[in-house]
Chain A
Amino acid sequence: MRIAAPVLASVLTLIVGSIFFASLGHDPLPTLYAFFVEPLSSMNGLSEWLLKASPLILIACGLAIGFRANVWNIGAEGQFIMGAVAASGVGLFWSDPDSALLLPLMFLAGMAAGMAWAAIPAFLRSRMNTNEILVTLMMTYIATLFLSYLVHGPWRDPAGFNYPQTALLPAAAMFQSFDPAYRLNSSIFITVVAVFLMWLFTDRSFLGYKMSVSGAAPLAARYAGFRESAAVWIGLLAGGAAAGIAGMAEAAGPLGQLSPQVSPGYGFAAIIVAFIGRLNAFGIVLGGLLMSLLFLGGEGVQMTLALPSALTRIFQGILLFFLLAADFFIFYRIRLVRPAPDAHALETAR
């Protein structure tokens, strides 16, 4: 039954999508084909599909650990940006640009920066009782501005014709592509490991169990002596680490440099991926593949059918709407209840 809701939601999203396309004057079937099938019909398309799914799955795994404990980190976008910034900083300014240690150092820098950016809301929530939703979100705006400052200011490539971007990362600071013709690179193995670790944590560890209890039944968790602040710290740091690594992999992979548009919204989309995946590792992989297809299809129809890029975000929203609504039919039994007598009617009857 837990699988039924995402499938139902996906089908309903497709139906609404068809109606939407038809109302825009596009024949629904060819448009759906262009959106969801065409991108996967070439080697390059498959490479791009996995390339985009990888960060989404990675971030969603980290976020889901927090969501299970009702820790709402919705600032993965900012943690992603800070990871990309820190990793690029190491890649650009390390004294030996040919060092084999460069990539591992960037990995650590990206992870540390993502965790540091998430540690601030974790500290404020656990020590100061401050709502982490708002703080993580505000931190995202600040990270975006910080990135903009760097690429417009001190880190701007002097040979870059005044474009707001850094110099290209040296070759040793980049993940190797599997095939020079396509962009898919070895960073996808990080995601594979992350999915396994997440499964291990949520399904096979006592700590993961304690965190799930904190989310599902906070009072029971407190009675059993599980510390709420531990759940807050672990939840936020896991999300921060995953997002930071994803940011690092994006800079050291398809981008190769920093620019103001480092993320096409992966940090926000990953929240939806975590929900579609029902906060468990296997589901998140499927959710990430679906969401990546939405990104890819959106880009595709933007080029071939001149449909606006905003469609991707609309579909993301609709998908989440349907998913949440579908849950209702799975978690509740519907029963007709006669309404209680109106208070006002009672008063006047007296």
Chain B
Amino acid sequence: MELFTAIFTGTIVAATPLIFAALGELVVEKSGVLNLGIEGMMLMGAALAFWAVTAGYSMPVAILAGALAGAAASLLFGVLALTFLTNQYAAGLALAIFGSGVSAFIGRGFGSDPIEALHGVNIAILSGLPVLGPLLFRFDPLVYLALAMFVAISWFLYRTKAGLILRTVGESPQTSHAIGYPVIRIRYMAVLFGGLMAGLAGAYLSVAYTPLWVENMTAGKGWIALALVVFATWRPLRVLLGAWLFGGMTILQLQGQALGLQVPSELLSALPYLATIVVLVLISRNRQMLALHFPASLAKPFRPAG
């Protein structure tokens, strides 16, 4: 039972940064924009949140700082991709490289000491429940925030007019523009939201999950989040399930190392990357399923004609 609790809670916690980053990217891609720079935005968020904690700011302020750092980074991408109509692949790659450099620069004086991690919640009765308490009600607040974001984004995209407009812009910006919707402005908002979420994901890594600063500490999680969106065929619920699947993979790998399995630790560490490839292949083979939810204008620059 204890092992089960450890694996279950570990999975939920490991999935949290992926949920933030992938849900943010889902909204961005639904608006027809492909931002490959999640890794860079996450690193900026992680570095700034960690800095805020070491500088003596409170936890909520630090997390907010991380989120805003991600949003600021995404604005750079937005200006390039939306105003200057550049190739979105190249702009995203530039952001990934730039973010890794800036975060390493910010983090150069951090040292290697961990900070006190974000505390778990303590809800009077619920957290004290015998089995369910440790299983469901003792996570840190950001875990619940991630789930709340899932509900909010699902509702926004499929149950509100604004969500419908966002998806329309992603399907056909020309039509949306002709009807009179401000395509560029809507896409800017989506990109900023994606940056905010990626920043949150990074902040979660450096102040709650690890909680210490290591250069390039995201270790590809930004790219895995990108893969998760494809894996989920652009649907929020599948993003959530995919993130849990990958969280579980991470935890099994750690448990495997702890149990002293007779395989090289590098092989275990490679599992999430291998799994990403396998999962992508399985999903992508079915072209019909991809086409069904794929935002038709994804990664195509839009400029208002006329």
Q: How far, in Å, is B298 (CB) from chain A's closest CB? A: 11
Sampled A-B contacts (12; CB under 8 Å) = A130-B277, A131-B280, A134-B230, A134-B276, A138-B220, A146-B266, A149-B264, A153-B264, A317-B95, A317-B98, A324-B90, A344-B180
Q: What B residues does A139 contact at CB under 8 A?
A: 273, 277
| Bound CA–CA A313/B36 (angstroms) | 17
| A145 and B180 contacting across the interface, CB-CB below 8 Å | no
Q: What B residues does A343 contact at CB under 8 A?
A: 179-181
- What bracket does the count of chain A residues touching chain B fall in? 35 or more
Binds A, one of B100-108, B127-135, B254-262: B100-108
Dominant SS at the B interface? Answer: helix
Q: What B residues does A3 contact at CB under 8 A?
A: none
Which residues from chain A sit less than 8 Å from chain B, CB to CB?
72, 74, 124, 128-131, 133-135, 137-139, 141-142, 145-146, 148-149, 152-153, 268, 271-272, 275, 308-318, 320-321, 324-325, 327-328, 332, 337, 339-346
- Measured CB to CB, the nearest residue on chain B to A326 is B84
| A72 and B89 contacting across the interface, CB-CB below 8 Å | yes
| B97 and A124 contacting across the interface, CB-CB below 8 Å | no
In the complex, B227 has a CB within 8 A of chain A? yes
What string of 1s and 0s marks CB contacts (under 8 Å) between B277-302 and chain A? Answer: 10011001101001000000000000
Given A149-B264, A321-B76, A324-B91, A129-B287 contact (CB < 8 Å): yes
- Measured CB to CB, the nearest residue on chain B to A317 is B98
| B86 and A310 contacting across the interface, CB-CB below 8 Å | no
Q: What B residues does A149 contact at CB under 8 A?
A: 264, 266-267
Q: What A residues does B6 contact at CB under 8 A?
A: none
Q: What B residues does A134 contact at CB under 8 A?
A: 223, 226-227, 230, 276-277, 280
Q: What B residues does A346 contact at CB under 8 A?
A: 180
How many chain B residues touch A (Cβ–Cβ < 8 Å)?
53
| A128 and B304 contacting across the interface, CB-CB below 8 Å | no
- Within 8 Å by CB of B281, from A124, A142, A337, lies A124
| A131 and B284 contacting across the interface, CB-CB below 8 Å | yes
| A128 and B180 contacting across the interface, CB-CB below 8 Å | no
- Measured CB to CB, the nearest residue on chain A to B84 is A328
Given A129-B287, A149-B267, A321-B98, A135-B280 contact (CB < 8 Å): yes
- Measured CB to CB, the nearest residue on chain B to A343 is B180
Q: How far, in Å, is A313 (CB) from chain B's closest CB? A: 3
| A141 and B273 contacting across the interface, CB-CB below 8 Å | yes
Dominant SS at the A interface? Answer: helix
Known contacts A124-B284, A134-B227, A327-B86, then 6 further A-B pairs from the complex at CB < 8 Å, ordered by chain A residue: A135-B277, A141-B270, A316-B98, A320-B97, A324-B91, A340-B177
In the complex, B93 has a CB within 8 A of chain A? yes
In the complex, B85 has a CB within 8 A of chain A? yes
- Within 8 Å by CB of A268, from B89, B97, B99, B290, lies B97
- Measured CB to CB, the nearest residue on chain A to B275 is A138
- Within 8 Å by CB of A148, from B86, B220, B226, B266, lies B266
| B90 and A337 contacting across the interface, CB-CB below 8 Å | no
